[in-house]
Chain A
Amino acid sequence: GDSVTQMEGPVTLSEEAFLTINCTYTATGYPSLFWYVQYPGEGLQLLLKATKADDKGSNKGFEATYRKETTSFHLEKGSVQVSDSAVYFCALSVRGGNKLTFGTGTQLKVEL
């Protein structure tokens, strides 16, 4: 079945540090890939997405590239801020369907 594996957290960084959160997936067909962010006490917000191989999703300084050869969609940001502290979820959906399969989430803490 479809699955998403994320690196375990929490990840603690100093402000302006470089961020990488690893995400790999297993899926039949060609899934769309997503990163969602959940701030404390809130629901999920779409951060970025990519729908085909080699696509790069980007938003708010975050980037992730759809790598079919390594079945990965790692999230990166060059310089994190305290306001980026949240839980980040990698997810996929199989083409033609709406169901999302989520990773377990990675908590990011950014300190001054």
Chain B
Amino acid sequence: GAVVSQHPSRVICKSGTSVKIECRSLDFQATTMFWYRQFPKQSLMLMATSNEGSKATYEQGVEKDKFLINHASLTLSTLTVTSAHPEDSSFYICSAPTSGGDKDTQYFGPGTRLTVL
């Protein structure tokens, strides 16, 4: 199956700093990628849709200036958490649908655990 990677897998940062998380589709091209946030023992909350070559689409209640998304190429999307605070600590997961006929299926990255001190 298709593979999606994320980097880093874990990051610890000080409050006020910015953190960049990368999401890569390793063996397929993805014009669209999705970013989710998962709180402990809860479901995934869709944050935004990353679109290659255009602006990201954010879900209601998600701050655009806080969570910057750049879809630099057909295989890379980045999420930057700007001026991170402890409440931003969470598990961030990206996903990408394949570009083939089976567009309903999405493949998820392994996630990035962000801890803001």
In contact, A32 and B110 (Cβ under 8 angstroms): no
- The answer for the CA separation of A46 and B41 in the assembled complex, in Å, is 19
Which residues in window 17-41 of B have CB below 8 A to A?
32, 34, 41
Instruction: For B113, give the chain A residue with the smallest CB separation.
Output: A41
Instruction: For B97, give the chain A residue with the smallest CB separation.
Output: A98
In contact, B44 and A49 (Cβ under 8 angstroms): no
In contact, B49 and A99 (Cβ under 8 angstroms): yes
Knowing A36-B108, A43-B6, A45-B108 are in contact, say whether A98-B44 is a contact too (CB < 8 A).
Answer: no
Which residues in window 30-87 of A have CB below 8 A to B?
32, 34, 36, 42-46, 49, 51
Contacts of A103 in B (CB 8 A): 43
- The answer for the CA separation of A102 and B36 in the assembled complex, in Å, is 11
The number of A-B residue pairs with CB atoms under 8 Å apart is 53
* B interface SS class: strand
In contact, B42 and A104 (Cβ under 8 angstroms): yes
Instruction: For A100, give the chain B residue with the smallest CB separation.
Output: B106
Contacts of A42 in B (CB 8 A): 110-111
Using A32-B104, A43-B93, A44-B93 as known contacts, list a sample of 20 further A-B pairs with CB atoms less than 8 Å apart, ordered by residue number in A: A34-B105, A42-B111, A43-B108, A43-B110, A43-B111, A44-B95, A44-B108, A45-B108, A46-B1, A46-B106, A46-B108, A93-B106, A98-B34, A98-B106, A99-B34, A102-B43, A104-B42, A104-B43, A105-B41, A105-B42
What residues make up the interface of B, taking CB atoms closer than 8 Å to A?
A: 1, 6, 32, 34, 41-44, 46, 49, 93, 95, 97, 103-111
What residues make up the interface of A, taking CB atoms closer than 8 Å to B?
A: 32, 34, 36, 42-46, 49, 51, 89, 93, 95, 98-100, 102-105, 107
Of all A-B residue pairs in the complex, the 8 with the closest CB atoms, nearest first, are A43-B110, A44-B108, A32-B104, A43-B111, A43-B108, A104-B43, A102-B43, A98-B97
